[in-house]
Structure 1
Amino acid sequence: MAGRNGRTVRDLRRANRTAVLQRLYFDGPLSRFELGPATGLSSGSVSNVVADLVADGLVEEAGSVDSDGGRPRTLLRVAPGSGHMIGVDVGETRVRIELFDLTLTELARAERPLAQQRYEVEVIAGHIRDGIAEVLDTAGLAPERLLGAGIGVPGIVEHTADRGAVVHGQTIGWDAVPLEALLRAGSGLPDTVPYLIDNGAKTLGQAEMWFGAGRGARNAVVVLFGSGVGACLVTPEVEHGRAVEWGHLTVRVRGRRCRCGALGCLEAYAGAESLLARWREAGGTPPEGTDEETALTAMLAAAYPSDDGRPDPVALAVLEETAEYLGAGLSDLINLFQPERILIGGWAGLQLGTRFLPAVRRHAMSYALRHPAEKVTVELGRLGPDAVTVGAAILPLADFFARGGRRPEPAPEYPLPAWRRSLRERAPR
């Protein structure tokens, strides 16, 4: 039965379950008494919802606290083992797959290094499928118990009705790749376990906003600085974030050719791949036969020697120029979106962070308009190199919460008659 605003009784029950689950997840353990003002629900509604969630195994007791003159109040928390998610980071040097429980405690992980032909679609899809099978086997978990597999990828992700998530990754040679359909075709996961695919910068932003340096901010930009660069914009209107192709802003007309094919992109100067290439072109000597992470470590050691040795002037000059390009790029974000915080993550951002951040911050403030620049802080993300996989795992977790803590139901094989749909909406859930 639908009310005047079109919401059914089932919708209201689902919203109440979502409200209680989210408050316990982010602020728990809490008592039933505390859940009322935290969710805006009446004490009767809280009791009913909690009873449902306990019966479903999603919520459990977590001790008690004294009350003012009455009986001790029982504390409640989300049960960690009541759901499991997989997070996948399709990165520049490896594919990382991690299995988490409902509280995002890591239970198992697998990594697949990427060779020179690193972005061949079938290779990546195979790494993801094999990695999922490996972490499930390691943890002894049946695939049916998963809430979903979240996957962060480079590029623009288009969600289509007929082919699922389609990836447009121009910098990695992916042209409208139906990644979701490819994974599902050879998957060992049941159809009720969804693949949820999104841009890697967006999953990084999701993680930092939920659990990292972005908590409490209403407007933030989270930057992913790896082989290339990208960003995620989070505002009250786009609370789950929107990926922006920041790395492909033009910073120099007729400049260096970017791996996307255009000239003068920020990524052609500020991404780790181009940074190392510029060091080599200027006469530097990156170690041969190593991956980008190892080469960048060597560059930092050359520019900032830990002993009393002389810094490599070539490496130092390239890094200082890169800091200015990054700062100028951040100033565009400040002027366009006026965020409260800018957070820098990604493996290269974290490697360069402590040495790099003061210069990047100084250049960003000098290039940005004064008023928005005075209101923004620029800092490193707090979740480390696993932030993209954590954020990817949040995709099925957020979907689970939106369903009121219920798993996706198999689609009916034929349309239900109107009388059955009505009964289903009115049935207690």
Structure 2
Amino acid sequence: MAGRNGRTVRDLRRANRAAVLQRLYFDGPLSRFELGPATGLSSGSVSNVVADLLADGLVEEAGSVDSDGGRPRTLLRVAPGSGHMIGVDVGETRVRVELFDLTLTELARTQRPLAPQRYDVDVVAGHIRDGIDEVLAEAGIAPDRLLGVGIGVPGIVERTPSQGAVVYGQTIGWDAVPLEALLREGSRLPETVSFFIDNGARTLGQAEMWFGGGRGARNAVVVLFGSGVGACLVTPEVEHSRAVEWGHLTVRVRGRRCRCGALGCLEAYAGAESLLERWREAGGLPPEGADEETALTAMLAAAYPPEGTEPDPVAVGVLEETAEYLGAGLSDLINLFQPERILIGGWAGLQLGPHFLPSVRRHAVSYALRHPAEKVTVDLGRLGPDAVTVGAAILPLADFFAAGGRRREPTPEEPAPAWRAALEERALH
């Protein structure tokens, strides 16, 4: 039965379960008494919801605390082993797969390298499927225990009724790749386990907003700085975050050619791949045959050598120019979205950050409008190189919470209307 606002009793129960689960997840352990003010529910509603969650095994007792003059209050927390998620980071140098319990404690991980400049769809899909099988086997977790598999990918992700998530990754040569359908075709996972595919910058942003430097902020931008660059925007209007193709803003008319094919993109100056290429063009000597992470380590060692050794002026010059381009790119984000915080993550961002973050901040403020620049802080992300996989695992976890801690059943396909079937039949003749 639906109320005046269209909500049914089932909707209300689901919302109450979700409210209690989320408060225990982020602020627990808590007592039933504390859950009332924290969720806005009555004591009776809290008792009913907690009883349901205990019966479902989603919540467990976690000791007790003394109360003022009364009996000790039992503390409650989310049961870690009551669900599992997999997070996948499809990076531009490797595919990383990690298995987590419900409290995002890592249980197993594996990673498989990708050949430079080669992002064969079948290879990537195979790495994902094999990685999922490997981490489940290592941890001894049955596939049907999964709440879902979250996957962060480079590029734009669109959801279609027939093929699920489709990826447009122009910089890696993916044009309308039906990744979800490809994974489902060869997957050993049951149909009840869903794939949640999204842009890698958005999964990074999700992780930082839930557990990292973005906690408590209403307006934030989280930057993914790796081989390329991207960003995730969080504002009250898009509270669930949105990936923005920040790396493909034009910062120089008729400038360097970007991997996307356009001229003068920010990524053509600030991405790790282009940074190393510019160092090489200026006379730098990256190690022969080294991957990007190793080459960037060598560049930093040349620019910031041990005390008593002269720094390489070429490496210093390229890094300083990169810091200015990155700062100018951040000024666009400051002017457009006026965030409280900007967080820089990604393997290259974390590697470079300690050395040139002050310079990036200075340039960002100097290029931005004064009023929004005075209100923003620019810092490194706090979750390290695994933030994309953590954020990817949050995608099925967030869906689980939204469903009130119940696994979503696959939606049965409804038969096509008679008029559509008739039109399709006529089109065949």
TM-score band w.r.t. shorter chain? over 0.9
- Residue 191 of structure 2 corresponds to 191
C-alpha distance in 2, partners of 1:236/1:143? Answer: 36
Q: Give the match's secondary structure for 1:396.
A: helix
What amino acid is aligned across from residue 143 of structure 1 in structure 2? Answer: P
Q: Where in structure 2 are the equivalents of 1:253-332 lying within 5 Å?
A: 253-332=253-332
Matched position secondary structure for 2:148 = strand
3-state SS of the aligned residue for 1:116?
Answer: coil
Q: TM-score, normalised by structure 1?
A: 0.96
Question: How far did residue 409 of structure 1 move?
Answer: 1.4
C-alpha displacement of 1:116: 2.8
**What residue is the counterpart of 1:379 in the other structure?**
379
- In structure 2, what is the equivalent of residue 157 of structure 1? 157
Q: Which residue of 1 aligns with 2:360?
A: 360
| Distance of 1:33 and 1:272 partners within structure 2 | 51
Q: Which runs of 5+ in 1 are unaligned?
A: 416-429
Deviation at 1:162? 1.0
Q: CA deviation at 1:408?
A: 1.6
How big is the shift at 1:238?
A: 1.2
Task: Spell out the pairing of 1:28-107 with structure 2 (5 A cutoff).
Answer: 28-107=28-107
Cα shift at 1:118? 3.0
**Alpha-carbon separation, structure 2, partners of 1:376 and 1:134:** 43
1:412 is displaced (CA, Å) by: 4.0
The aligned counterpart of 1:389 is 389
Q: Is the 8 A contact 2:64 2:73 kept in 1?
A: yes
Inter-partner Cα distance in structure 2 for 1:124 and 1:414: 33
Aligned-partner SS, 2:274:
helix
Question: How much is the aligned-residue C-alpha RMSD, in angstroms?
Answer: 0.9
Matched, 1:241 2:248: no
Partner of 1:180 in structure 2? 180
- Give the drift of 1:240: 1.6
Task: Report the Cα offset of residue 356 of structure 1.
Answer: 1.0
Q: Residue 107 and residue 265 in structure 1: after superposition, are their counterparts in 2 closer, same or farther (change >3 A)?
A: same
Number of residue equivalences: 415
Cα shift at 1:115? 1.1
Secondary structure of 2:41's counterpart equals coil
**CA distance in 1 between partners of 2:372 and 2:392 (Å):** 31
SS of match in other structure, 1:108: strand
Hey, what's the Cα distance between the residues in 2 that align with 1:53 and 1:225?
40
* Shift of residue 414, structure 1, vs aligned partner: 6.2
Equivalent residues of 1:19, 1:39 under 8 A apart:
yes
Q: Secondary structure at the match of 2:386?
A: helix
Contact map agreement 1:204 1:222 (CA 8 A) in 2: yes
Identify the residue that residue 340 of structure 1 maps to in structure 2.
340
Kept after mapping to 2: 8 A contact 1:107/1:139: yes
CA contact (8 A) 1:193 1:408 kept: no
Q: Does the CA contact (< 8 Å) of 2:167 and 2:174 recur in 1?
A: yes
User: What's the offset of the Cα at 1:340?
Assistant: 0.1
**Distance across 1 between alignment mates of 2:198 and 2:89:** 10
- Give the letter aligned to residue 248 of structure 2: H
Query: TM-score, with normalisation over the residues of structure 2?
Result: 0.96
User: Which residue of 2 is the match for residue 145 of structure 1?
Assistant: 145
State the match for 2:216 in structure 1: 216
Q: Give the aligned residue type for 2:324.
A: E
Q: Which residue of 2 aligns with 1:403?
A: 403
Please say if residues 117 and 172 of structure 2, whose CA atoms lie closer than 8 Å, have aligned partners that are also in contact: no
Q: Percent identity?
A: 88
Cα 1:46–1:237 change in 2 (3 A) is same
Q: More displaced, 306-315 or 83-92? A: 306-315
SS in 1 for 2:217: coil
Segments ≥4 residues shifted beyond 3 Å: 410-415
What are the Cα deviations for residues 347-397 of structure 1, in whole angstroms up to 9, with x where unaligned? Answer: 000000110100000000000000000000000000000000000000000
Distance 2:57 2:213 in 1: 31
Q: CA deviation at 1:307?
A: 3.3
